[in-house]
A and B are shown apart, each in its own frame.
Chain A
């Protein structure tokens, strides 16, 4: 029962964050500044998610594998320009690096 209540709370908390902007700007138009800013925000958020998912540490030896994996993904993507190859190839090689080293 307690678990189900916790899940309901999480559903509400999550959906508040998703529906809020659509409710606020249902009638009125967002300002020009807000529109311009929102064009740049996706890129800013994406790079933040990359940074967050890479554990950055001053001690390079402890997370060089994840850096190596990231470089592989970038090289694969710039070479083939196919998201599938970049993600699958990158993850596969990263697992291999983890297994070997």
Chain B
């Protein structure tokens, strides 16, 4: 596990997530404390739930006293995109290993983005490369949320625009996917579906509906031989 080249490579590969997670983790911790919650909940949630969007939503759900069943269903729908992630990683996580469960547990949008975009570089141990990426990403997320919670406890500051790091990260990952797939359909279809759903007014189901319908639409893309 402590193979130097593998650790260096995963540190390098995960740097963009470092900046993304530290900043959006900070915003999460900050908002949580500002809503009146104990700062310890920030690291507790980041360690046990480890799902960015869900944790942001959680602040809202808990502070509005939403019933548990409704909380569960909402989070399930919001995170349903993970099912799709798992499907495309079946092969990559095929080899049985002791840390396989953790790799699945830590499959966030960003970890998934890194794992599907970046191949383990030559000279590294692939099975530990994935583990380090996941471990590092979660530690950035936990550290970010702790820093945010502490800042929120001490000083009243405004973070204007810092959360753009998340959009920037997704843009970069999309460009990398375009370079790798070299097809336009997987990117065009979601845009069309997203636009149509926005016009119809899908509201809070926009994310989940776009992901589900886009995934289905991929069936109509013929593979080049």
Contacts and interface: CB of A to CB of B under 8 A. Distances in A.
B151 interface: no
B206 A52 contact: yes
A90 B151 CA distance: 24
Interface of chain B, main secondary structure: helix
Interface of chain A, main secondary structure: helix
A66 B93 contact: no
A98 to B, nearest CB: 4
Interface in A35-82: 36-54, 56, 66, 69-70, 73-74, 77-78
Interface residues of A, number: 62
Interface in B68-85: 68, 71-73, 75-76, 79-85
Looking at chain B, what size class is its interface with the partner chain? 35 or more
Output the residue of B41, B206, B210 with the most chain A CB within 10 A.
B210
10 contacts: A9-B71, A13-B72, A17-B80, A19-B86, A22-B90, A25-B87, A43-B177, A48-B190, A51-B210, A84-B19
Interface of B: 15-16, 19-20, 23, 37, 41, 44-45, 48-51, 54, 58, 61-62, 68, 71-73, 75-76, 79-88, 90, 93, 104-105, 107, 109, 112-113, 116-117, 160-162, 164-178, 180-181, 183, 185-187, 189-191, 194, 198, 206-207, 210-211, 214-215, 217-219, 221, 223
Given A14-B54, A39-B181, 17 more contacts: A3-B62, A6-B58, A6-B71, A17-B82, A19-B105, A22-B104, A30-B87, A41-B214, A41-B218, A44-B211, A44-B214, A48-B214, A52-B210, A54-B167, A69-B168, A95-B161, A99-B161
